[in-house]
Chains A and B, each alone.
Chain A
Amino acid sequence: MILETIDLRKTYKLGKVDVEALRGVNLRIREGELVAIKGPSGCGKSTLMHILGAMARPTYGKALISGQSIGDMNDRQLTQVRRRNIGFVFQKSNLLPTLTVRDNIEIARHIHGAAGDSKDQDSSGIAQLLMIQDKMGHKPSELSGGEQQRVAIARAVVNRPSILLADEPTGNLDSRNSEIVLDMFRELNRKLRQTIVLVTHNPDLIAYAGRLIEMRDGMIVADSVCRQTFTDE
């Protein structure tokens, strides 16, 4: 299993009130799976993604990434997991506004410790894949929402992470840009056997996903296989 959670619970403190975001989530995701997660707002989808992305620790239970428990890791180890294993695409593109598109992609490589000496060589292939090659010198503010999200995807996949997590990646996009993003995920999963977990309400993405997990009130209420995707079995 590339991702596994066992009785995963997460409680936040809001002032004096404890808010249970996750209430015993059990989940097993194999390598190469494309999993869609859906559920109403506040059901714990994003919290689950943050834990699976090594950005937050569980309050109780276990979350395992490639067999390693996130709860047992210190900050340095969590940072390493994020750097080496995870690519994260947020609903908002979350690009660095002061950097160009090229540098936004390069920064991920730089942090990963894999920056090359030719920026054109470094970024052009990925940029072509996402049809943003003519935008490399632009700042994020000069791009459309769809283009920004494609840059965010380029940044997330540039280091070949073993797990790509996307939290409502098409949530702010029009249908054309959603289709480009959908194509990207589809190709990554089909040809690279990229493990993808995405939170989405986009019916096209859900339709393509091999598996759909439905959440409500911090729990998984349905987990259904839709169609075959690449897995390690």
Chain B
Amino acid sequence: MWEIFSNDGRTAIDVEYSRYRRSPGGKRAGDRMNRRLIIAGLAARPVRTTVSIMAVALEVILILTIIGLANGITNETGRRTEGVGADIMFQAPGSSLLLALNNSTLPIALGNKIRDVEGIKAVAPVQLQVNASNGLEVVYGIEPKTFDEITGGFIWHGGRSFSGPDEVLVDDLYARSKGLSTGDSVDILGHKFKVAGVVEHGKGARLYIPLKTAQAMAGTANRASLFYIKLNNPDRLNDVIDRMKKEFPAYRMLPLKEYTMLMMSNNMPALEAFIKIVVFIAVFIGVLVIFLSMYMTITERTREIGILRSLGASKWFIVTLIFQETAVVCVVGIVIGIVASFLIARGVTAMFPTLLVLITATWVTKASIFALLSGLIGTLYPSLKAAAQDPVEAIAYE
């Protein structure tokens, strides 16, 4: 037989009760209890927990890598275009900002008229071609002389400029990614080219072919996709554009700095829509997986929830417990997702030097918030369902 009463006449339970009633660490202990409850719940179902964490991580990876890749490509394209050194880009009416998507062309003869506008130092026609075999590359068809007037000339890693129609210049990153060097053959748009030289990257494209060859391949003889324009005095940019607009009112003239800024931001209409779609899909996946996971959990733990309710746990207690559990899953998933995204970005750049995955702090924050939100949205219904359970029915659940 055990003895309930202590020496001072109080019961053992009274002594215990007064002890914890007096305790200053009651809240801390409560928090610890909550943590143990959450961790025990997660640890008891390792497969479900792992799958949920991986789903959140996947959501973060999806957002960071796809948007990082889109941003990286546009950003890098912007930098490369800026690297051409021109002040103005001159395009046909209705042309796209995404140069690779352009079909409109301009007559080469227009270049001479542009050159006559006061304040213009040099004009270089460029015929764009998109090489979709082995990735997506914009190929510049150029006249070396006029292109050099704009760019100040290539920095050579090896070789020389074109001396024939079937020669190509490649930049150092493209050469490295494809293992090319001077004298090698390369297939571009079904046309065999010989690498005449390797140049420093950063001047518009990664591949340069003679303008006439590009025109012949595109079936646009004596035409160009755009003109790069260099001014005598870049400070007079607006004056020159005003004059050009009078001369060529229907054409599109964009200061290169403005173009670069547009390419480096997420404000480009096409990119913005793409990003919204990617984020929506990623969040949708996250919501679905967390919903399914938590719904399963609630069903599996019906009896446990009934026990907690029978002990006097409020609906709010149940809801917050489930939300806290989801929050733990989300935080772990987010951390794994961010780390994995950076590793993937490194891997992509190592495997494909011409691709850049640009993961910014802003998008890391956004992806984390989206992942957390999707977790919370996915948990809302299951947690409310759990809290609404009748304790008697829940305890009887098998």
A80 touches B (CB below 8 Å):
yes
Question: What residue in chain A is nearest B1 (Cβ atoms)?
Answer: A183
Once A83-B311, A187-B4, A191-B4 are accepted as A-B contacts, the answer to whether A122 and B19 lie under 8 Å apart by CB is yes
Point out the residues of chain B lying under 8 angstroms from A99, CB to CB. Answer: 36-37, 40
Point out the residues of chain A lying under 8 angstroms from B12, CB to CB. Answer: 125-126, 128-129
Whether the pair B2, A97 counts as a contact (CB closer than 8 A) is no
CB of A118, distance to nearest CB on chain B (Å): 7
CB of B10, distance to nearest CB on chain A (Å): 11
B20 touches A (CB below 8 Å):
yes
Whether the pair B13, A98 counts as a contact (CB closer than 8 A) is no
The interface residues of chain B, by DSSP majority, are classed as helix
- The complex places the Cα of A130 from the Cα of B13 at a distance, in Å, of 12
- The complex places the Cα of A133 from the Cα of B5 at a distance, in Å, of 18
The interface residues of chain A, by DSSP majority, are classed as helix
Whether the pair B19, A192 counts as a contact (CB closer than 8 A) is no
Point out the residues of chain B lying under 8 angstroms from A147, CB to CB. Answer: none
How many contacts A-B (CB < 8 Å)?
Answer: 145
B339 touches A (CB below 8 Å):
no
B343 touches A (CB below 8 Å):
no
Whether the pair A79, B44 counts as a contact (CB closer than 8 A) is no
Whether the pair A121, B19 counts as a contact (CB closer than 8 A) is yes
CB of B387, distance to nearest CB on chain A (Å): 10
A residues with a Cβ closer than 8 A to B are: 50, 53, 55-56, 75-76, 79-80, 82-84, 86, 88, 90, 94-99, 103, 106-119, 121-126, 128-131, 155, 157-160, 183, 187-188, 191-192
Interface CB pairs A-B, < 8 A, 20: A76-B314, A94-B310, A96-B307, A97-B44, A98-B41, A99-B37, A103-B37, A113-B26, A113-B30, A115-B23, A115-B30, A115-B33, A116-B19, A117-B24, A117-B26, A118-B29, A121-B19, A128-B2, A187-B4, A191-B5
Given contacts A90-B395, A121-B20, A191-B4, 9 further A-B contacts (CB under 8 A): A55-B310, A80-B312, A98-B43, A111-B313, A113-B26, A114-B17, A116-B26, A117-B24, A123-B16
